[in-house]
């Protein structure tokens, strides 16, 4: 299958605004984030990260679905306009789940160090990410 056309920065910004962890961020903040992302693709069944191994990035799903698994059981699915790997990338601990592509996945990858660097100089983005993480925690309770 041919690779899709690469996204322009403005397309990345528009997409990031629709993702739960960046929904409260400003366009300027999102522009800085977009510049640091890279597009990645995963095939159905491909393992993106393994439980117990370090994770070095946050993934933002443009299209497709991934399964978040624990001990071989699906805990939840992540689909278009959702992120995964956020907590593991932020606290730099090993992944607590295995993540596998269910179907072909097109995503943006934001390196954990790049994310740290952005957060260290942008309090409003820190606030936006904290709000999104709080929503995620509430939804899982």
Are residues 25 and 128 in contact, defined by beta-carbon separation less than 8 angstroms? yes
Tokens 């528009």 identify what position?
14
Structure pTM?
0.87
Pick from 73, 61, 66, 68: nearest CA to 97: 68
Q: In angstroms, rounded to a whole number, what is the distance separating the alpha carbons of residues 112 and 131?
A: 19
Give me the sign of the Cα torsion angle 130, 133, 139, 141. Answer: negative
Q: What is the pLDDT of residues 6-43, one digit of tens each?
A: 899 999 999 999 987 888 788 888 998 999 999 999 99
- Output the six-digit token pair for 125: 């983005």
The domain spans of the chain are 9-140
pLDDT attached to residue 109: 97
Looking at CATH, the fold of the domain delimited by 9-140 is given as Jelly Rolls (2.60.120)
Does residue 2 register a pLDDT over 60? Answer: no
Segment 97-139, tens digit of pLDDT: 899 999 999 999 999 999 888 888 888 788 878 887 787 777 7
């Amino acid at each position: 299958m041919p690779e899709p056309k690469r996204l322009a920065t403005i397309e990345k910004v528009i997409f990031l605004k629709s993702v739960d962890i960046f929904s409260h961020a400003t366009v300027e903040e999102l522009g800085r984030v977009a510049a640091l992302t890279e597009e990645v693709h995963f095939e159905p069944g491909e393992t993106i990260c393994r439980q117990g191994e370090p994770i070095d990035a946050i993934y933002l799903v443009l299209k497709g679905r991934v399964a978040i698994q624990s001990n071989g059981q699906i805990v939840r699915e992540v689909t278009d306009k959702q992120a995964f790997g956020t907590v593991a990338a932020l606290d730099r601990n090993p992944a607590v789940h295995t993540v596998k592509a269910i179907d072909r996945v097109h995503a943006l990858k934001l390196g954990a160090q790049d994310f740290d660097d952005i957060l260290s100089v942008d309090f409003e983005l820190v606030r936006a990410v904290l709000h999104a993480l709080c929503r995620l925690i509430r939804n899982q309770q």
